[in-house]
C-alpha cells in the first residue's frame, strides 16, 4: 500500500524512496554482560503493533538521512508523535 | 424446496464460562487444531474465538497453492505430510476440497538459481517427494504459453518441477473443517474478539472476550498475520516477525492456457489458472510492515509488466478483482510453533508468512497433539521460538526469494 513519509531534509516524499529500518528499540545494548537473549531482542524481536509505531527510516533514493518517525500500521499514514499531543 | 440450504456447522448457543481449550483465531490453523483436538484427542469442550468471521484473514485471501518443495530437512517432511493429507481430509470431512494436483513449476532465471534448485531437488528426492530439474526447452514443452526468449528482463534458464503440488479450494477447507469441528462438538464463536489472557501462578487461567470471560487451562493463539500483535499484547512476548501486506489479483476468465502453478522468484510472480479460467496471480509484498490489506497501483503495474513478459499471450488482458492479505515473515522464512514457555498452557502458532495455507491441516493435527498431551511432537520441535537467541535459524531463506522488510 502506498505511503508518504516526511524526510527531515527533503520534506514529504513518496514512500518507495525510503528503506524501512525497523521498529525503534532504543539504543544498542552495552557489550558488557550482553546475553544472547538481550542481543536477540535487539536484533530480531518486534512488537508488531497494529496501530501507532515509532520506527527508523533511511532516505535511500534521496539525501541519505536516517531518521525516526511515527506511523499507524493499520492506515499506513504518518502520524504526530504521541508525546506531541500530550 | 429445491435449494433449501442447511447449515454446515452449528451456531453455538452462548459462550460458556469454561472450556477445556480455547483457540484464538477462526482461520484454517485454528479450525484444524480444534477439529483434531475434538476428533483425535476426545476433548469435549473446545471453543474457537474469531473476531470477524471464519476465513476472514489469510484463509480466504491466499492463492490456494499447495506444495512440498521447501529447502530444509526440518520443513519439508511437514509439508509432505500436509500434501498427503488433502485426499484423506476430503474423505474424512465428506466435503469436496477440490484438490487439483496439477503440479508446480518454479521458474529459474540464472545459473546461481539453477544451482540452488539442484539442492532443492536433491532434498526433495531424499525425503521421497517427487521433484525434477528442467531446462528451458523442457519448460516450453510443458507450458507452451511461457516465453523462453533471451531478450526479456529475466530469461528462463529452467525450472524446478514438482508434480504432486497444485491447488486446493481454500474456502472449501474453511467450510469443511468448520463442519467437521462442529460435528465433533467444537463451539465456533464468530464476531467474538478475545481481549486478554489471564495468567495465575505462571499458568493460563482464562481468556477474556468481548462476550464474557472463559476459564480454561489451555489457549492457542493462531490468528495468522494478526498473531504477533495479539501475542505481544496478551502474553507480552516479542517475536522475530514483520507483518507485511501481500497482494493478489485475478484476470478476466480465459480459455485454458496454463496447466501448472507457475512461479518466478526473479519476477516476484506466481500464477495459476483457476477452474473458472481466471489467472490468479500475486506475490508482491509491501516493503514496510502494515496491516492495511490494501493493493497499490505500483504493484498492479508491476504485475502486468511481469506477466506480459513471462506469458506474452496475457498482454491486454484485464484484471477483474484484486485483494490483499497479511504475511507475517520471520528472518529464516520458517514458522514459530511453541507452547508452555514461559506461560504453562499458552501455545503460539505464527510466522507462517505466505505459506500458512498449504500447512494448515498438518499443523492442526500436531498442535492438537501438543495441546492435548503438553509434550511437543517431534516434527514440531525445530520450530520453537528460542532458536533465534540460540542462533539456530533455519536455512529456508536459501529456497526461493527471501522476503523481508530489510531487503
pLDDT top residue among B202 and B12: B202
| Domains parsed from chain B with CATH numbers | 21-62+170-240+333-398 (3.50.50.60), 104-163+242-329 (3.30.9.10)
What pLDDT score was predicted for residue A2? Answer: 79
**Residues of chain B found within 8 Å of residue A3, distances taken between Cβ atoms:** 288
* CB-CB under 8 Å, B288 with A3: yes
CB-based contact (8 Å) between A9 and chain B?
Answer: no
Domain span at A16:
4-25+37-85
* CB-CB under 8 Å, A46 with B290: no
Q: Work out the average pLDDT over B322-339.
A: 96
**Residues of chain B found within 8 Å of residue A15, distances taken between Cβ atoms:** 288
CATH of the domain at A9: 3.30.2270.10
What pLDDT score was predicted for residue B2? Answer: 65
Of the candidates B233, B236, B197, B173, which has an alpha carbon nearest to the alpha carbon of residue B22?
A: B197
Q: Work out the average pLDDT over B285-305.
A: 92
What pLDDT score was predicted for residue A84? Answer: 64
What pLDDT score was predicted for residue B13? Answer: 76
What pLDDT score was predicted for residue B53? Answer: 97
Tens digit of each residue's pLDDT (9 = 90 or more) over B133-180: 999 999 999 999 999 999 999 999 999 999 999 999 999 999 999 999
What pLDDT score was predicted for residue B396? Answer: 83
What pLDDT score was predicted for residue A82? Answer: 79
All residues at 6 or more sequence positions from B214 whose CB lies less than 8 Å from its CB, including other chains: B15, B16, B17, B18, B19, B22, B47, B206, B207, B208
The reply to whether A78 falls in a domain is yes
Predicted complex ipTM = 0.94
- pLDDT over 80 (residue B376): yes
* CB-CB under 8 Å, B287 with A20: yes
**Residues of chain B found within 8 Å of residue A20, distances taken between Cβ atoms:** 287-289, 405-406
Q: Work out the average pLDDT over B360-387.
A: 97
Number of inter-chain CB pairs under 8 A, A vs B: 78
What pLDDT score was predicted for residue B188? Answer: 97
What pLDDT score was predicted for residue B352? Answer: 96
Tens digit of each residue's pLDDT (9 = 90 or more) over B32-89: 999 999 999 999 899 999 999 999 999 999 999 999 999 999 999 999 999 999 999 9
The reply to whether A54 falls in a domain is yes
CB-based contact (8 Å) between A68 and chain B?
Answer: no
Averaged pLDDT score across all residues of chain B: 94
The reply to whether A63 falls in a domain is yes
- pLDDT over 80 (residue B403): no
The reply to whether A30 falls in a domain is no
Of the candidates B403, B400, B390, B363, which has an alpha carbon nearest to the alpha carbon of residue B89?
A: B363
Of the candidates B338, B381, B333, B372, which has an alpha carbon nearest to the alpha carbon of residue B354?
A: B333
- pLDDT over 90 (residue B402): no
The reply to whether A31 falls in a domain is no
The three cell numbers locating residue B256: 485454458
Strand runs labelled E in A24-86 = 52-58, 66-72, 77-79
The reply to whether A16 falls in a domain is yes
Q: Work out the average pLDDT over B210-227.
A: 97
Number of domains composing chain A? 1
- Which of A23-32, B344-353, B393-402 shows the lowest per-residue confidence on average (mean pLDDT)? B393-402
Q: pLDDT tier at B407 (50, 70, 90 boundaries)?
A: very low
Select from B225, B288, B385 the residue whose CB has the most chain A CBs within 10 Å, as the one to mutate to test that interface: B288
Angstrom distance (rounded) from CA B40 to CA B34: 10
Angstrom distance (rounded) from CA B102 to CA B117: 20
CB-based contact (8 Å) between A65 and chain B?
Answer: no
What pLDDT score was predicted for residue B295? Answer: 93
**CA triple B84-B90-B96, angle to 5 deg:** 130
Select from A50, A51, A53, A78 the residue whose CB has the most chain B CBs within 10 Å, as the one to mutate to test that interface: A50
CB-based contact (8 Å) between B238 and chain A?
Answer: yes
The three cell numbers locating residue A9: 531534509
The reply to whether A43 falls in a domain is yes
Amino acid at each position: 500500500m502506498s505511503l508518504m513519509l516526511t524526510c527531515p531534509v527533503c520534506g514529504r516524499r513518496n514512500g518507495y524512496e525510503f528503506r524501512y529500518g525497523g521498529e525503534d528499540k532504543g539504543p544498542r545494548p552495552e557489550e558488557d554482560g550482553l546475553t544472547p537473549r538481550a542481543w536477540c531482542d535487539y536484533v530480531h524481536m518486534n512488537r508488531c503493533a497494529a496501530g501507532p509505531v515509532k520506527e527508523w527510516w533511511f532516505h535511500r533514493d534521496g539525501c541519505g538521512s536516517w531518521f525516526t518517525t511515527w506511523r499507524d500500521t493499520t492506515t499506513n499514514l504518518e502520524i504526530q508523535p504521541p508525546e506531541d499531543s500530550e | 424446496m429445491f435449494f433449501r440450504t442447511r447449515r454446515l456447522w452449528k451456531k453455538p448457543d452462548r459462550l460458556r464460562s469454561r472450556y477445556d481449550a480455547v483457540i484464538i483465531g477462526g482461520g484454517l490453523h485454528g479450525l484444524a487444531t480444534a477439529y483434531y483436538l475434538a476428533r483425535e484427542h476426545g476433548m469435549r469442550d473446545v471453543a474457537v474465538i474469531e473476531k470477524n468471521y471464519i476465513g476472514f484473514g489469510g484463509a480466504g485471501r491466499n492463492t490456494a497453492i499447495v506444495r512440498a518443495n521447501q529447502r530444509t530437512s526440518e520443513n519439508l517432511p511437514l509439508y509432505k505430510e500436509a500434501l498427503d493429507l488433502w485426499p484423506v481430509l476430503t474423505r474424512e470431512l465428506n466435503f469436496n476440497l477440490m484438490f487439483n494436483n496439477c503440479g508446480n513449476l518454479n521458474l529459474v532465471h540464472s545459473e546461481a538459481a539453477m544451482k540452488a534448485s539442484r539442492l532443492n531437488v536433491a532434498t526433495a528426492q531424499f525425503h521421497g517427494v517427487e521433484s525434477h530439474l528442467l531446462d528451458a526447452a523442457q519448460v516450453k514443452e510443458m507450458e507452451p504459453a511461457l516465453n523462453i526468449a533471451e531478450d526479456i528482463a529475466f530469461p528462463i534458464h529452467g525450472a524446478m518441477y514438482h508434480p504432486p503440488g497444485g491447488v486446493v479450494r481454500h474456502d472449501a477447507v474453511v467450510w469443511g473443517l468448520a463442519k467437521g469441528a462442529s460435528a465433533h462438538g467444537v463451539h465456533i464463536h464468530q464476531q467474538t474478539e478475545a481481549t486478554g489472557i489471564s495468567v495465575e501462578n505462571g499458568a493460563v487461567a482464562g481468556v477474556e472476550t468481548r462476550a464474557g470471560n472463559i476459564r480454561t487451562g489451555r489457549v492457542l493463539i493462531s490468528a495468522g498475520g494478526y498473531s504477533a500483535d495479539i501475542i505481544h499484547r496478551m502474553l507480552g512476548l516479542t517475536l522475530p516477525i514483520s507483518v507485511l501486506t501481500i497482494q493478489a489479483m485475478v484476470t478476466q476468465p480465459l480459455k485454458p492456457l496454463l496447466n501448472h502453478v507457475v512461479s518466478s522468484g526473479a519476477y516476484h510472480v506466481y500464477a495459476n489458472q483457476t477452474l473458472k479460467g481466471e489467472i490468479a496471480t500475486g506475490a508482491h509484498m509491501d516493503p514496510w510492515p502494515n496491516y492495511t490489506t490494501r493493493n497499490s497501483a505500483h504493484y498492479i503495474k508491476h504485475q502486468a509488466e511481469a506477466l506480459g513478459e513471462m506469458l506474452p499471450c496475457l498482454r491486454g488482458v484485464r484484471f477483474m478483482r484484486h485483494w490483499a492479505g497479511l504475511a507475517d515473515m520471520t528472518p529464516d522464512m520458517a514458522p514459530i510453533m511453541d507452547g508452555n514457555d514461559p506461560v504453562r498452557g499458552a501455545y503460539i502458532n505464527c510466522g507462517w508468512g505466505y505459506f500458512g495455507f498449504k500447512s494448515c491441516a498438518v499443523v492442526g493435527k500436531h498442535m492438537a497433539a501438543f495441546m492435548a498431551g503438553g509434550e511437543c511432537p517431534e516434527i514440531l520441535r525445530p520450530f520453537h521460538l528460542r532458536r533465534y537467541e540460540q542462533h539456530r535459524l533455519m536455512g529456508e531463506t536459501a529456497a526461493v526469494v527471501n522476503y523481508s522488510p530489510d531487503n
